[in-house]
Structure 1
């Protein structure tokens, strides 16, 4: 990520972060700011005349987050810049991360119009940590942004193998009909209609004596809806339905790169929910790895099916902490919109710690209830479970309750119903694929186990 960080000895131009509270004083000091109507809003940048000792002003509004200044990466001219001082309460490392992420562009298919501005190391910033987080976030963004034609289950496997080689981890992959033989029936059923065979990817890293952490990521590389087919408008962004897998891959990369003292177990059920003559059908009864039978109320509620088999496998090794991340329900977006990610857990201490981590790294999260009163909504009439509740209410909650049936043996389980996508650009968060929740989880894991 050297393109996002200027070297320590770079001849960098100075820039000042300006908050709303300091705006009047800055206008007095720099009449050019007053003449041009500079308002110090987040994302706003003003390059000052050449004779000024300060090269540019960067708006930060009320300075609620370092991301408020992250528009500087594309607002400032190309080249190396040095931030003169930070607003009170801003962490230098988190600011370095935000500024770098503001310069992200997805370049696989088209050269960018320009290079981002680079920022010299801030005083007190842990540049190794900043680089670690930025690399992982960019990996996640790249994976989600890649169209399904180039990001099918086999491509997710390639990504996991590349990550494993970089960190001396081991990978096991079960593919196609072997999923049935080795008792992953729901992963197989969801993915069997695709020309790219379904697979279950497991990566392990770390000392066996260290606390075991399991990361499960939904890897639905494209979701047509299956036989309950989505309309074209609902299918347009379904390349991002592997956003859970992309986020746990980024989280795993941070954990391994930091060499945290944990035994990491990464599990990704990778499938395409396609349509063909052998696609699974509404009304089918599937027997899960756990032995629970599931009636298919809707083939478009497929993510919870593949996660269920993967969560069951994760529980078999008795992890200290089990995390699953999935682009699971539209109901989560109805509840909280595209910027705040809901999570579910019955572990009160874990919930509090994750919320604190969320605040520390500006990764917005909100705890939602595992409301026991809705649990019976997932009961089947001729099976143990139905994968789609009859009610249209509380869709994100009922999906979490479905997964809880398969995570009951976990010592501590937390489920994230993420979006993995920015529908429009904001400072530091350009439109497109996004790491959501994983930075907070990394911070928590580092604090708890590191």
Structure 2
């Protein structure tokens, strides 16, 4: 595994920035990107492997679980130095830009190679973006990321910008304040193949029926927002009423969830569109014993959950919620309602993960003479690169494995 260096030792010296090549400067910016604006761990599903050069590998540091990286990231002096370095770089780039546009100055007089001038605008944009991150939300322990998902045929593109906030005083219940890889995986799968999640076939149903979508443990809201924006982009949903409800429990998580939804969906669109998205508090443990709010008083066609099983009781509580929330089968149901769950197989939470299959039976194990019950209709393993392709060969090339469950109503007598 590569030794991580603090910005004070890794970055080109501030006084000598002007003498470094565009490659070296881009490498330095990429390094700062990996420190202060990292990608979500375990969010890249394994596909066809693309060869990556050793130079690219060595320029990326993405081991988010490494305590040394966390120490560097939280070091106020190192962050302050990075801000000064970026400020100096931007100032130097602006000088090069001004001189390059001057008719009285020859290129050779600038003392910098032509390729650097050609890439000046790119360098300025990357440096300015990182400066905003280091001096702004990241300095307060917050990270804002842009997520982009596309359909397999390239015809659809869904974008969302989400902010992660720090855990609430190390309260484990506030883990939803961060965007986890399972949410990225589920959102990507939905955008790639809506039909698989009952969204495509629903479009062929009665025009009068509203599509109701619910997310349990929505966290930062990535999955709910991806669904909302996906349906906005599908022509056959233009005149179909759609309602998405994103729920969570912890106060700080719910506040951040609402903020992310507001940032991605304007009030104007909510009023003029037939599509709407709301956020709401939901306590799984007391769902069956407390009055339901209006937004949870009707049956849902699609229920979603990403990385929401991390305590032994969660699967039982979720099952009890689903029995009152998932639309039951009927002759009028165009696409059978289902709960789509993606959970990581963490060695530290193996028991909790296994509770899913002890609480929800497989269809083949259900009593054919019994009443309708929620069962596991299908199960699929998904493998992701833990830190992305760039860390191959650096000792960081372990994988993250997920299980995708489709859970729905089953009655052998139907």
With normalisation by structure 2, the TM-score equals: 0.26
As a proportion of its length, which structure holds more helix? 2
With normalisation by structure 1, the TM-score equals: 0.25
